[in-house]
Structure 1
Amino acid sequence: MVLGYRWSLSENYALGVETGYSRLGNFGSSILESVTFAFLGTPRAVPQGSSWKLRTRAMSLGASMKWSVSGPWTLMAHAGGIRSHATVDEGYVFMFLSRSRHLTTDRNGIYAGASFGYDITPQLTAALTADVYRVKFENGFVAGMHTNYIRVLGGSLEYRF
């Protein structure tokens, strides 16, 4: 969800500010399998592998630009800063040993995006959007900060008062 205000610079151009909140999705992978080996002459199946999950949210503050290209067609661009909250859950299992971690990271980052829209009415625009968010998070087993670029393709409806 994004809220903003745009000032008209001319008949075809407008410049504005925006703020918003985005749920940037859940990502993860899991490689868990059973391995069979003989223990005291009896075959035993034991688990081994790893799992990883990242959940990210972001609050944004930035600038936006709208250009009325031709008739009802518009191009829009926006960019700014974000404050992201990333949660990482990791697990590793090998035979009878297991290890897991839960980490949260709050960091500053940036975002940028563009959209191509159509003015349905003078107050309503429908658009196709493409955004990129740069999110940093701490990984538990591989120590240090990691940077993830989250790309979002979608649609938007803009209502103007």
Structure 2
Amino acid sequence: MNKLALSAAVAALALSPVLSQAAHADDTSTATYGANVNPNWQDNFFVAGNLGQTQARTSDLSHNNSVFQNVRFGWRWNGIIGPELGYVYLGRPKADVGNGFGSFSAKPQAATIGLNAKYNFYQGWFVTAHAGYLRSRTELAYTAGDGENRYKTWNNGLYAGVGVGYDVTKNVSVGLNYDDYRLQAGNGTSTDYVGVGHTRTNIAAYSASVEYRF
């Protein structure tokens, strides 16, 4: 939980200058927020994609690193702050069990909804932040010899993240990002199928991103 709290705190810190400047965003006489700002609300939609690596912050999984993929679609008021929707794939971390006789894996993915912000602090350079709620689906699997048991659970969670990047053009940006996902997996009956009950885990994600505004 500390990782998520830290990410949320950093996100809030990053959002604070955005919110303080937002009251003056209607004044388009000066380029306060960088070249990407467009006062026409219809031109502030964006789509962003992330690709990177996850790290499950738990000792229960011996193979903690995996692939991270994220797609988000959203809108920003005056190019600064607004809502977002997304889908995130958090890889498939694994653990060897029974002295290598079997293995256990978790395959979490989630739909997300939250707030996002982008603030140009120097010409084309910017910082970003986002945070919100997620609804995850985790496929748990236990394999031993030729046998395999699978079980899916749906749970709630939270996410938060920050990033830094550069506006390549008025419509295209690239960035580097850190995100933290507070996940829950399993339930009261999953123990009967894969030997794992209800758990909570933080998954950190390090990624590169491309954003297109239209």
Give the TM-score category using the shorter length: 0.7 to 0.9
Instruction: Show the 5 A alignment for 1:1-161.
Output: 1-8=71-78, 14-31=80-97, 49-91=101-143, 101-138=149-186, 140=191, 144-161=197-214
DSSP 3-state at the match of 1:7: coil
Question: 1:75/1:147 Cα in 2 relative to 1: closer, same or farther (>3 Å)?
Answer: same
Tell me how many residue pairs correspond in the alignment: 139
**Structure 1 residue runs without a partner (length 5+):** 34-47
Q: Distance in 1 between matches of 2:147 and 2:120?
A: 55
Task: Check whether the contact 2:88–2:111 (CA below 8 A) recurs between aligned residues.
Answer: yes
Q: Distance in 2 between matches of 1:160 and 1:53?
A: 37
Q: Distance in 2 between matches of 1:160 and 1:91?
A: 44
Q: Distance in 1 between matches of 2:144 and 2:209?
A: 40
Higher helix proportion (structure 1 or 2) = 2
Q: Which runs of 4+ in 1 moved over 6 A?
A: none
Shift of 1:65: 1.2
Shift of 1:147: 0.8
1:64-96 Cα deviation digits (max 9, x unpaired): 111111111100000000000001112457xxx
Q: Distance in 2 between matches of 1:28 and 1:132?
A: 19
DSSP 3-state at the match of 1:122: coil
Q: Distance in 2 between matches of 1:2 and 1:106?
A: 21
AA at the equivalent of 1:23: Y
Q: Distance in 1 between matches of 2:90 and 2:196?
A: 23
Could you say which structure has the greater relative contact order, defined with CA pairs below 8 angstroms and 6 or more residues apart?
A: 2
- The percent identity for this pair of structures is 29
1:3-42 Cα deviation digits (max 9, x unpaired): 000012xxxx711110011111011122465xxxxxxxxx
DSSP 3-state at the match of 1:26: coil
Shift of 1:100: 5.6
AA at the equivalent of 2:180: V
Higher strand proportion (structure 1 or 2) = 1
Q: Distance in 1 between matches of 2:112 and 2:183?
A: 12
**Structure 2 residue runs without a partner (length 5+):** 1-70
The structure with the larger Rg is: 1
Instruction: With the length of structure 1 as denominator, give the TM-score of the two structures.
Output: 0.78
Quote the RMSD (CA, aligned, Å).
Answer: 2.2
1:89-134 Cα deviation digits (max 9, x unpaired): 12457xxxx9864221101100111110101111111000111111
Instruction: With the length of structure 2 as denominator, give the TM-score of the two structures.
Output: 0.59
